[in-house]
Chains A and B, each alone.
Chain A
Amino acid sequence: MPVRGVVTPGSGTLSRIRTREGSRLRDVGVLERVGFVLLLLLLSTSLAAPLFVLDPVISVAPAFQAPSPEHWLGTDDVGQDVFSRVMFGLRTSWLSAVAVIASAIVIGGATGLVAGARGGWVDALLMRLTDAFLALPGPVLAIAVAAALGASLRNTLIGIAVVWWPWYARLVRGEVRALAARPHVDAARLSGVSPMRLMFRHLLPGALPPIIVAASLDVQILVLTLAGLSFLGLGAPPPSPELGAMAARGADYLFASPWIPLAPGCAVFILAVAANLAGDGIRDLFDRG
């Protein structure tokens, strides 16, 4: 490998060549790196939470205990350990966001890929369908789904997922259409490549970077949206450890025992900020321009 130091500042091409895909690790700022590390830390600890924290749904101590070495974030109104509940809440928040994004990528990605690759009436039909779903207001639909099917985390996620995928469909469709017009895709067609292979080997890979960028920025929005819905009572019924519901239930004790509502609130805040910074960093890494 040639020495990196040879590259004069401002001539970005060489460094881009070395990292193949145009990813520029050096362009990622300090704050974004911190966010990324923080996010990884939060995720790994919360995922591993069941191994080292107390059961979040049983009373383990007297109620309203202030933070102490035994209970780092104190205990709540029924004597549950707040730290344990926050860790489980973070886990739920993150996994829910990932579940919604994953479903949006699969449904939206497939719709956009087919629409963009086929064009014509298939494209028109799928995109009008997408527009119809795009017109639905997300939180309202989530409330409606919860009202119809009962309040539970799963139903809330279904409600959110229904309005989330169209964004990915539009994104993928746009990228695929732009790619499909490029001569190297014509070259693939000339080789006699089958439509399936064309889609998955020649079109989809080009649409991946914008999907990754959109997904990484979406984590933060979803964490906040889901926490908000949970705050309103549209989530798993108590005593499930959900950050929004915990904050809502603890709001009564804001002055007497501030750790009860503030701990989950701060956890949402930190997770959202970390996800946002990490998303920014990923965008810097993948976005052209």
Chain B
Amino acid sequence: MSEQTSTSPKSNGTAPLLEVRDLVKHFPVKSSGVIRRTIGQVQAVDGVTFNVYKGRSLGLVGESGCGKTSVGRVITRLYDPTSGSMKFEGNEIATLSSKAMLPYRREIQLIFQDPYSSLNPRHTVGSIISTPMQVHKTVPKNKMVARVQELLEVVGLNPEHYNRYPSEFSGGQRQRIGIARSLALNPKLIVADEPVSALDVSIQAQVVNLLQDLQKEFDIAFLFIAHDLAIVRHFCPEIAVMYLGKIVEIGDRDQIYLTPHHPYTQALLSAAPDVKQAAVGGRRERIRLEGDVPSPINPPSGCRFRTRCWKAQDICAAEEPPLLEVGGRQVACHFAEPLQVIAPEALTFMAPSDGVENETVSTSGSTAL
């Protein structure tokens, strides 16, 4: 994956907001005992390359443990990358000290998966949302309450509730508080790490719609990390599929969903349960993968998917397939070929139509509170 990949077909000639090249994050495995020698590396992220464009969303999907959360945490510099480059608006941020990183913290924010543990139970909602603005001094003290209330209103919460504690809110409302916090500094990029997977299905739709409205309103780019394929398809025009620390396929959402080229993408899509398809009696050939995901401490040689792949040949063990342009997307497989595994209407997110959607968002705060 070392070769320079071409820019995304959707770039429209503009420079990407975030350019990630060969990003690597390894976690050392230490031996127990007094002298803790490093006895291995968990290769959580191992050479990942992608672009995120202004005001657009890139979806990052893959099963648990494939490294998608690590990617998000490295991009926000909660983790330091082992190697590789991350350019935000053309400026390298992979190696910045925490002080030099400060101005970029305004531009890149994170929405956490768990709305419970991501809000400090000892701080009021107002304090939680205003902390970033206090640190960066973007809002004068006497205007802080007004700004917090404005943000609460934007995310569909009652602005009068800034003095309450997180424990007084439901999961969906807490996630809205987290979203308000991430919006506080007017970021250009939000890394959304499974923003709805901890919520009830009915609340998921509200929060996804809220994120979409915010994206339109504030022109925010999202790196949307999720394992729910329907939500990712709904939210992200461009999608990257990760397996064991590497991107195996990246491209336009319809290309990925309708003509997946990588065997792993095909297996992932075929494994996703889909109500609509079941409802119409649609019978689907499910691709069953053999074995377990190999350990990221000791990944297989060559193609990392070969141990579970039905197409695997000798070359797959000998040579790592580069991410190459095939059929309008980039795919890392020696034997890439299209295979439709889901019906076109399958794995679509059951979001209400536009009119209803807006209503849901604007009223949910008042009805739920």
Contact = CB atoms under 8 A, between A and B. Distances in A.
30 contacts: A16-B167, A21-B122, A182-B117, A183-B113, A183-B117, A183-B118, A184-B118, A184-B119, A184-B120, A184-B128, A185-B120, A186-B110, A187-B112, A187-B118, A187-B119, A187-B128, A187-B181, A189-B78, A190-B76, A190-B109, A190-B110, A191-B105, A191-B132, A191-B135, A192-B101, A192-B106, A193-B131, A193-B135, A202-B120, A206-B122
A205 interface: yes
B349 interface: no
B136 interface: yes
Interface in A8-51: 16-17, 20-21
B197 to A, nearest CB: 14
Contacts of A191: 105, 131-132, 135-136, 181
B27 interface: no
A263 to B, nearest CB: 45
B112 A186 contact: yes
Interface string B114-140: 100111101000001001100110000
Contacts of B112: 183, 186-187
Place the interface of chain A in its size category: 20 to 34
Contacts of B132: 190-192
Nearest to A193: B135
B102 interface: yes
Contacts of B122: 21, 205-206
Interface string A141-169: 00000000000000000000000000000
Contacts of B78: 186, 189-190
Given A190-B132, A192-B135, 19 more contacts: A17-B165, A17-B167, A20-B165, A183-B117, A184-B118, A184-B119, A185-B120, A187-B118, A188-B120, A190-B76, A190-B78, A191-B132, A191-B136, A191-B181, A192-B101, A192-B132, A193-B135, A194-B135, A202-B120
A188 B131 contact: yes
A195 B119 CA distance: 18
Contacts of A205: 122
Contact of B114 (A183, A188, A193, A197): A183
A182 B178 CA distance: 14
Secondary structure at the A interface, as helix, strand, loop or mixed, is: helix
Contacts of B135: 191-194, 197
Contacts of B168: 17
B206 to A, nearest CB: 21
A185 B76 CA distance: 14
Contacts of A192: 101-102, 105-106, 132, 135-136
B335 to A, nearest CB: 40
A194 B109 CA distance: 17
Contact of B105 (A20, A184, A190): A190
Contacts of B76: 190
B129 to A, nearest CB: 10
Nearest to B78: A186
Contacts of B178: 187
B110 A187 contact: yes
Interface in A77-110: none
Nearest to B118: A183
Interface in B77-128: 78, 101-102, 105-106, 109-110, 112-114, 117-120, 122, 128
Contacts of B128: 184, 187
A20 B136 CA distance: 29
A206 B168 CA distance: 18
A139 B118 CA distance: 45
B139 to A, nearest CB: 13
Contacts of B113: 183
B117 A184 contact: yes
Contacts of A17: 165, 167-168
Interface string B165-189: 1011000000000100100000000
B339 to A, nearest CB: 38
Contacts of A20: 165, 167
A127 to B, nearest CB: 13
A121 to B, nearest CB: 11
A186 to B, nearest CB: 6
A187 B78 CA distance: 9
Nearest to A186: B78
A206 B117 CA distance: 13
Nearest to A124: B36
A-B CB proximity, top 5 nearest: A191-B132, A183-B118, A192-B105, A184-B120, A183-B112
Nearest to B120: A184
Q: Which of A17, A183, A185 has the most CB of B within 10 A?
A: A183
A131 to B, nearest CB: 13
Contacts of A16: 167
A285 B102 CA distance: 40
Contacts of A185: 120
